[in-house]
């Protein structure tokens, strides 16, 4: 009889317009690679959960991110300082941010689409789709609140975009998104990214790779 190998689940609460969520995603993936290089071969399932940085963002009305940041952080100069800093940090993790063309949008449709990818294709494909949405927003300046854009992102990774586009015209998946919001509140998750590892460890923020490695090793050895 083959030994039973326990599955470790990692749930990541994040938003597709959150710069630190993209940076944290890339760092966590590198940490998993380090763990594998150390000989840990336990299966790790990574699932992305919904969180909205700005649930009041109007639906169907994208805003240049510079304007959104200026409104939130007290002016154009401060907004540009923040965006310049986060762009530099992202570049250090091999991520291209073009914040001068980024469009801030309501992300509830994007979260529904992410649930669709998880429901229809599983967590590995969901992570790939998450990456495509992050690139759409941060690198390509696309409106991730637009259902056509969400479908095009699905097609770009080999999924059937028209099926997603039709599905988005329904109300399916909204309950799942709301449950993620409630679960974040129940766990006192007030900011993203937040990594819940094996339902035992909470690692908030885009930590350095070494920090993620340490948390993963603790979870895998206890």
CA distance 91 to 196: 26
pTM comes to 0.95
Cα 3–chain centre separation: 34
Residue showing tokens 């310049």: 84
Q: Which two tokens stand for residue 130?
A: 């998450």
- Which pLDDT score, from 0 to 100, does residue 5 have? 53
Give the model's pLDDT for residue 144: 98
SS3 for 160?
coil
Residue 34 to residue 61: CA distance in whole angstroms: 41
DSSP 213: H
Residue 222: per-residue pLDDT: 76
Consecutive sets of 10 residues in the chain, 222 residues long: mean pLDDT of each?
Answer: 67 98 98 97 96 93 94 94 98 98 97 98 98 98 98 98 98 97 97 96 97 96 83
* pLDDT given for residue 10 in this prediction: 98
141 vs 133: CA distance, rounded Å: 11
> What pLDDT, on a 0 to 100 scale, did the predictor assign at position 6?
80
């Amino acid at each position: 009889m083959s030994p039973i190998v326990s599955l470790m689940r990692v749930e990541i609460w994040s938003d597709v317009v959150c710069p630190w969520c993209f940076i944290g995603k890339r760092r966590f993936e590198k940490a998993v690679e380090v763990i594998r290089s150390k000989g840990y071969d336990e299966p790790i399932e990574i699932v992305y959960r919904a969180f909205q940085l700005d649930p009041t963002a109007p639906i169907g009305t994208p805003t240049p991110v510079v304007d959104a940041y200026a409104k939130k952080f007290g002016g154009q100069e401060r907004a540009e300082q923040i965006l310049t800093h986060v762009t530099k940090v992202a570049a250090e993790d091999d991520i291209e941010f073009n914040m001068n063309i980024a469009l801030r949008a309501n992300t509830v449709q994007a979260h529904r689409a992410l649930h669709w990818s998880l429901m229809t294709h599983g967590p590995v494909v969901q992570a790939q789709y998450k990456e495509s949405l992050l690139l759409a927003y941060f690198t390509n300046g696309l409106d991730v609140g637009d259902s056509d854009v969400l479908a095009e992102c699905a097609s770009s990774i080999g999924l059937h975009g028209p099926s997603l586009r039709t599905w988005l015209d329904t109300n399916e998946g909204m309950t799942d998104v709301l449950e993620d919001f409630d679960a974040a509140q129940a766990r006192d998750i007030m900011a993203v990214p937040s990594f819940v590892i094996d339902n035992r460890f909470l690692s908030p923020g885009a930590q350095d790779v070494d920090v993620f490695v340490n948390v993963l090793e603790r979870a895998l050895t206890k």
